[in-house]
Amino acid sequence: MRIDLLSRNPQVTPEQMLEGFQPTARFGKVSFENYLPNADFPSQALARDTLREFTQNPPQPVKRLFRKPRPVEGVGYYLDGGFGVGKTHLLAAAWHAFQGKKVFLSYQELLYTIGMLGMHKAIAAFHGYELLCIDEFELDDPGNTHMTSTFLGQLMPMGTHVITTSNTQPEHLGQGRFNAEDFKRQIQAIAERFTVLSIDGPDYRQRGAGLGKPFKKSELALLEKQAGSFVRVTASELNLHLTRVHPARFSRMLDGIDAVILDDLVCMTDQNIALRFVHFIDKVYDLNLKFAASGEALDQLFPSTYRYGAYAKKYSRCLSRLTEMLALSARRLEQPETVR
Ligand SMILES: Nc1ncnc2c1ncn2[C@@H]1O[C@H](COP(=O)(O)OP(=O)(O)OP(=O)(O)O)[C@@H](O)[C@H]1O
Ligand SMILES: [Mg+2]
């Protein structure tokens, strides 16, 4: 069944947002056990073991006779590494293993929630959680930096533990995006809350292959027939629509959709549009939806000034995810009955 994505612009209340904050379908069943560390990169096993140990023995509030337990400062872990090395897998594994009140969300979703509730209410709303898992941490501008510093500065001393993933080392946060020098103290204070676990290794998704290839229209028609509920729009129509929907609502916008099929990928020459598209692909990937597209080759999708500029990592990650999803669709075309 074809779904009209362009007429969807869901409104999400703060309560609905909070309820929905848990690992998406792709990471619904991941664990420390099904994380297979690469023996050539010992940092992988080290990160897994450190997080497993933490989830089994997290610091607890100190019990006191006739008084409320005294909170201990929450611990912070910062999983830093290139794209596709398994950071989100480990983050979600920690979330699944942790016994206690916990929340899993992207940094983008966190900022959106703080923006919607206001800082005071956001701190109150998250205060009840013992563990916050924040995927894809990064500081894009001074406002975010200030917000993040206040938020963590209020919550962590009261005992909330935070694990986060990022493609950027903490000391390089914000670099190239805004005048990070002026916010050095705040960035430093954020970084000091975390123990960094650097994860090295190759992109698990690509395993050395090149970028994925778009499909012919005739192939898209076949994939469309295989899909359950699907959207099929041109990339330009999608991009225009995405300018009207906040990225934190993309997930809800994709509710009940099984496959996203895009016609005519073209080079995106506006950075705002390109970044929205990147966020959209992040969601399609996290939700484990089927994806296929026709049009320009992936290396033509983003101008090289973007691919090597301040947001280079976001674009590389997007191309890595697109490659994985296109490869899966290609397999579906070859062996429809064996691939979901
Ligand atoms: N060591 C591993 N063992 C098993 N599966 C893995 C491993 N590393 C990665 N994966 C799988 O590979 C895919 C990519 O991993 P993941 O999304 O966790 O990478 P990432 O480091 O978060 O990448 P990104 O920077 O793109 O967010 C996931 O499906 C994940 O489950
Ligand atoms: Mg990730």
Mutate to test the pocket of ligand 1, among 36, 49, 88 (most ligand atoms within 8 A of CB): 88
How far away, in angstroms, is 40 Cα from ligand 1 center? 16
Predicted model pTM? 0.87
Average pLDDT over residues 308-321: 87
Which of 65-79, 152-166, 203-217, 292-306 is the least confident region? 203-217
Mutate to test the pocket of ligand 1, among 204, 205, 316 (most ligand atoms within 8 A of CB): 204
CB 258 within 8 A of CB 289: yes
30 CB near ligand 1 (under 6 Å): yes
Secondary structure (H, E, C), the chain: CECCHHHCCCCCCHHHHHHCCCCCHHHCCCCCCCCCCCCCCHHHHHHHHHHHHHHHCCCCCEEECCEEEECCCCCEEEEEECCCCCHHHHHHHHHHHCCCCEEEEEHHHHHHHHHHHCHHHHHHHHHCCCEEEEECCCCCCHHHHHHHHHHHHHHHHHCCEEEEEECCCHHHCCCCCCCHHHHHHHHHHHHHCCEEEEECCCCCCCCCCCCCCCECHHHHHHHHHHCCCEEEEEHHHHHHHHCCCCHHHHHHHCCCCCEEEEEEECCCCCHHHHHHHHHHHHHHHHCCCEEEEEECCHHHCCCHHHHCCCCHHHHHHHHHHHHHHHHHHHHHHHCCCCCC
User: Residue 338 CA to chain centroid, in angstroms?
Assistant: 28
| Domain architecture of the chain: domains with CATH | 31-199 (3.40.50.300), 205-334 (3.40.50)
Q: Per-residue pLDDT for 73 more than 80?
A: yes
Q: Per-residue pLDDT for 209 more than 70?
A: no
Confidence tier at 338 by pLDDT (50, 70, 90): low
Confidence tier at 192 by pLDDT (50, 70, 90): very high
pLDDT for position 291: 97
83 CB near ligand 1 (under 6 Å): yes
Of 338 and 55, more confident: 55
Of 67 and 221, more confident: 221
Confidence tier at 221 by pLDDT (50, 70, 90): very high
Counting from 1 in the atom list of ligand 1, the atom nearest the Cα of 79 is: 21
166 CB near ligand 1 (under 6 Å): no
Which of 13-17, 213-217, 231-235 is the least confident region? 13-17
Q: What is the rounded CA–CA span in Å between residue 251 and residue 57?
A: 33
pLDDT for position 160: 96
Q: Per-residue pLDDT for 208 more than 70?
A: no
266 CB near ligand 1 (under 6 Å): no
Average pLDDT over residues 290-317: 91
Q: Per-residue pLDDT for 340 more than 70?
A: no
